[in-house]
Amino acid sequence: MPSRLDIPVVFLVFNRPEPTARVFARIRDARPAKLFVVADGPRPDHIGDAEKCRRVRELIAEGIDWPCEVVRDYAEKNLGSGRRVASGITKAFEAVEEAVILEDDCLPDPSFFPFCAELLARYRNEPRVGLIGGAPHVDNVVRGGESYFFCRYGYTWGWATWRRAWARFDYSMRTWAAWRDSGGLQELFPRSAVRKFWSRAWEHAASNPDDIWDYQWVYCYMRAGMLGLLPRTALVENIGFGAEATHTTTHVRGSQPTKPMVFPLIHPCTIEPDLVAEARASERFFSRPNLVVRAIRRFRQWCGRLRRSLAS
């Protein structure tokens, strides 16, 4: 019988039974002692949503066959992917000090769970570390054999954190305007292209938060000076690309096939951001692409919206 995972797991679900079943199978294998299931409600203007949401909740209920304390946080009405995720995680951290967090399309390698468990314990009382990510999103960034590296950018395709870090989260970004106007962006991002990316992202999140929560989270922990901790190889793969996705309707750069983590972990000697990794991430994700690339992305987004419209 597999060992029991002592760290609570927060599982964020909605209306996609197939990827949900795949991710839940990995959670089931890990056998967490405590499981929070956070589910959004069906959208009233989407035919079939109610049935899909019901199927998702049923497959989880039928699949819990190990000793486990289950907390079901089910919304009857649709709250939106931003408010539902944010409120669900906040409620979970009212009850526990730390947790692994997985969305219904983030498929973890089995080694992801012991990786998170060890590092949650190691950095539990280290205020400089705010997030343990499941995927690096950039290749060949770890030198010297370390199992992971630190970076100001934290990714939430499978991650873990502590109550002390999530306490910094502010969904409405109340400090954004004053911090922006005081020159905070220039201090945080010397490169103009990267600064423009995050300025647009955070302005949008502050003004239109209904379907966004992760930009607010990045803003809050980066403002607090916290670092993300990322593995040298991908431990989580995003399997949710497609017409049914809310945001990842087309394949996003950075999703990589998973590889098992090798134990025992080799820890970095210092808690410092890997500047090479940050530069590569900035170039790959956070600099404005040229006109041709932007046109291709917009066309793909349009195709995704069209497929969703036809499917509904």
Interstrand relation of 9-13 and 129-133 (parallel, antiparallel or unpaired) = unpaired
Backbone angles phi, psi at 84, to 5 degrees: -65, -45
pLDDT in tens, the chain (312 residues): 457 899 999 999 999 999 999 999 999 999 999 999 999 999 999 999 999 999 999 999 999 999 999 999 999 999 999 999 999 999 999 999 999 999 999 999 999 999 999 999 999 999 999 999 999 877 555 567 899 999 988 789 999 999 999 999 999 999 999 999 999 999 999 889 889 999 999 999 999 878 899 999 999 999 999 999 999 999 999 998 544 444 444 445 546 789 999 999 999 999 999 888 888 777 777 665 544 445 555 655 566 655 555 555
pLDDT at 303: 64
Task: Using DSSP, state whether 265 is helix, strand or coil.
Answer: coil
CATH of 9-311 among 3.40.50.150, 3.40.50.2020, 1.20.1090.10, 3.90.550.10: 3.90.550.10
Burial of 264 (0-12, 13-18, 19+ CB in 10 A): exposed
Strand order in the sheet with 34-39: 69-74, 34-39, 9-13, 98-103, 159-162, 129-133, 227-231, 148-151
CA gap 121, 114 in Å, rounded: 11
Distance CA 63, CA 61 (A): 6
Q: Which residues fall within 8 angstroms of residue 14, CB to CB, at 6 or more apart? A: 39, 40, 53, 56, 81, 84, 104
Residue 204 to residues 123, 124, 198, 245, Cα–Cα distance (Å): 32, 32, 10, 20
Task: Give me the pLDDT at residue 220, please.
Answer: 96
What distance in Å separates the CA atoms of residue 195 and residue 227, rounded to the nearest whole number?
Answer: 18
84 neighbors 210 (Cβ within 8 angstroms):
no
**Does the bond joining 260 to the residue before it have cis omega, within 30 degrees of 0?**
no
The angle formed by the CA atoms of residues 51, 70 and 220, to the nearest 5 degrees, is 90
